[in-house]
Amino acid sequence: MQKITARLAERCDDVGHENLIVEPHYSVENKTVVISIDGGRSRVRTYTGQRNENGQATYHTPWREPKLFVIDVLDHQGRPERHELPIYGSQFHEDNVLGLLGRYLKKINIHQAAQVQLIADGAPWIWPPWNRSACCRC
């Protein structure tokens, strides 16, 4: 199952996630867009190649932090637009998720949006150190 999943992920990377999800001529022109970004915690199995005394495979389960984002379009009342599906993205490294987010934003022509709202907590991987003091006046 891991090999199949890894091959599928490689193919998605080759084609570009944004090209699989977003329709070719989709645009957020004159729309309000909300971008939410956050991280989580997950364990990932890494097999050791050894067996325990019962003959079962053993593995390590280190914690990993998946990085996630959601791009959503709001209607004129500030609620998620019911006729447009949100775009979800996830990667395990911040550079990868921010790169993926950038490709999605380019694909949907974010520069044509009427308004863009960013929602995120104060995690260091989201806000660069040079910009934290300007953004967070807590």
Dump pLDDT digits (tens) for 30-72.
999 999 999 888 888 888 999 999 999 998 888 888 889 999 9
Amino acid 76 reads H
Quote the pTM value: 0.74
Q: Where does residue 81 fall: left (phi above 0), alpha (psi -120 to 50 degrees), or beta otherwise?
A: beta
| Contacts with 88 (C-beta within 8 Å, 6 or more apart), sequence order | 68, 69, 70
User: Judging by beta carbons within 10 Å of its beta carbon (0-12, 13-18, 19+), is residue 37 exposed, middle or buried?
Assistant: buried
Tokens 């990932």 correspond to what residue? 44
The SS3 call for residue 48 is strand
| Contacts with 57 (C-beta within 8 Å, 6 or more apart), sequence order | 47, 48, 50, 51
Distance of CA 112 to CAs 71, 77, 88, 106, Å?
15, 20, 20, 10
Dump pLDDT digits (tens) for 109-138.
999 999 999 998 877 777 766 554 444 443
Distance (Å, whole) CA 101 – CA 5: 21
Written as six digits, the tokens of 133 are: 């003091």
pLDDT at 136: 45
pLDDT at 107: 93
Query: Which one has a higher pLDDT value, 109 or 93?
Result: 109
Identify which of 131, 128, 129, 121 has the alpha carbon closest to the alpha carbon of residue 36.
Answer: 121
